Amino acid sequence: MLNWNDIIRFATHGNPEAPRRVEKTVEEWKTQLSPEQYRITRLKGTERPNSGEYCASHEAGKYACICCGEELFDSTIKYESGSGWPSFTQPIRENAVKYDKDVSFGMIRVEIMCNVCDSHLGHVFPDGPAPSGLRYCVNSESIKLLEIQ
């Protein structure tokens, strides 16, 4: 189970190796994604609080990257954080998500991205529930819920 020390180590000393890589041109991403998905995932945007499709969703399944389809989070680790964005306590695998120090907007945060295609997902914070204490705060536009097989 990842904890805040692991996140800081990844953000400062390098991320786990990705299971695969997906790289596309700007035009390929723009063709594949809606304008809002492109703004959030490729330009590091943020959706308005409480506006995302998955903010209050409690459906069972796995959440995958909207850009490349890589599985990122499981619904069993999703919780109501009150933040206005879907929140998870852990990624589905240690190497599913990559981390980067984010100093935009006069704050110091840790950005989370898909480790396969570098899609911006949101940020992770050390104020989540036990036992990990982590809150992965994710934009709904950056993920999709996969049907249970």
Catalytic amino acids? 137
Distance CA 53, CA 66 (A): 13
Contact 2, 98 (CB under 8 A): no
Beta strands in 16-105 (DSSP E): 62-65, 71-74, 78-79, 87-88, 97-102
Contact 134, 78 (CB under 8 A): no
Q: List the end-to-end C-alpha distance of the chain, in Å, as a whole number.
A: 26
Distance CA 78, CA 135 (A): 9
Distance CA 75, CA 60 (A): 5
